[in-house]
Amino acid sequence: MRTRPILSWTPTGASAPTTTSLDELAGVVAGGRVLVLSGAGLSTESGIPDYRGESGQLRRHVPMTYDEFVGTEQNRRRYWARSHLGWRTITGAAPNDGHRAVADLARRGYLAGVITQNVDGLHQAAGTPDVVELHGSLSRVVCLGCRRTSGRDDLDRRLRRANPGFDATAVRVNPDGDVELGDEDVRGFRLVGCTGCGSGVLKPDVVFFGESVPRDRVDRCHALVDGAAALVVLGSSLAVMSGLRFVRRAADAGKPVLIVNRGQTRGDRYAAVRVELPLGRALTDLARLLPATA
């Protein structure tokens, strides 16, 4: 399925019942085999902005699409110059209380798995095992020619060597690791090629808007939904179908769907309840309410 930038989303239809109580959420999680679907709202407390929340970056920043990225070298130069600076912010981010609480619930046996729409690696940094990165990871780079993957740290070192005088200052960091830079800062930025085939175009190993989520990854997520007893959504507006389809699948199977998010979501109509609390606080309190093991 191809995803498209959704610059605005107007809630329609029924909204889920909202609450600041964790009682219903705790009751469902206590039963175990809960699948977590997380979004950018979980990482805002780590200093990484979201797209559509109260200070969502889509109000100021439209992510580059896949067609734009592969279309011209100038677009790739603009992407990599900006992302080169943004990577420093991503690597400097640390897991927050919400990430740590999810890892704790996984260790204690309450979770059937974690699917994240985030590309920041903070679930793994907090210690959550076997996270399915629905949209990939900024920590990897893929060659569009030979399909070789490599680490982002290696690319970062090569870009630093190729651009020794690059001293631009980021104005604003966006959720995709991109930053705001003026044209004059981008113009002289030098790209580097694949070290495997020597000439391939390098792209971060993430799903751009306009690009398809790999079929085997979608199938794995469907299997997780099918094997779970309930689905809990954390910090996602569910504005794009890549995440919403799993909510629909769970609801169609009669499984409880619960959402923890500040503000309405596109999946509200499928949810039993939406908890209106900050993620770090809500998940930390949830972990304290539950027995030591599932």
Strands of 222-272, DSSP E: 230-234, 257-260
Q: Tell me: is residue 83 an annotated ligand-binding position.
A: no
Query: What count of residues does the chain have?
Result: 294
Q: Tell me: is residue 292 an annotated ligand-binding position.
A: no
Q: Tell me: is residue 40 an annotated ligand-binding position.
A: yes
Q: Tell me: is residue 120 an annotated ligand-binding position.
A: yes
Q: Tell me: is residue 279 an annotated ligand-binding position.
A: yes
Q: Which residues are annotated as catalytic?
A: 135
Evaluate whether 270 touches 14 at the Cβ level (below 8 Å): no
Evaluate whether 40 touches 118 at the Cβ level (below 8 Å): yes
Q: Tell me: is residue 221 an annotated ligand-binding position.
A: no
Q: Tell me: is residue 97 an annotated ligand-binding position.
A: no
Q: Measured between alpha carbons, how far is 99 from 291 in angstroms, rounded to an integer?
A: 19
Backbone φ and ψ for 36, nearest 5 degrees, come out as -100, 135
Q: Measured between alpha carbons, how far is 194 from 202 in angstroms, rounded to an integer?
A: 6
Q: Tell me: is residue 53 an annotated ligand-binding position.
A: yes
Q: Tell me: is residue 124 an annotated ligand-binding position.
A: no
Evaluate whether 28 touches 258 at the Cβ level (below 8 Å): yes
Q: Tell me: is residue 143 an annotated ligand-binding position.
A: yes
Q: Tell me: is residue 273 an annotated ligand-binding position.
A: no
Residue ranges of the annotated binding site for Zn(2+) are: 143, 146, 194, 197
Residue ranges of the annotated binding site are: 39-59, 117-120, 143, 146, 194, 197, 235-237, 261-263, 279
Residue ranges of the annotated binding site for NAD(+) are: 39-59, 117-120, 235-237, 261-263, 279
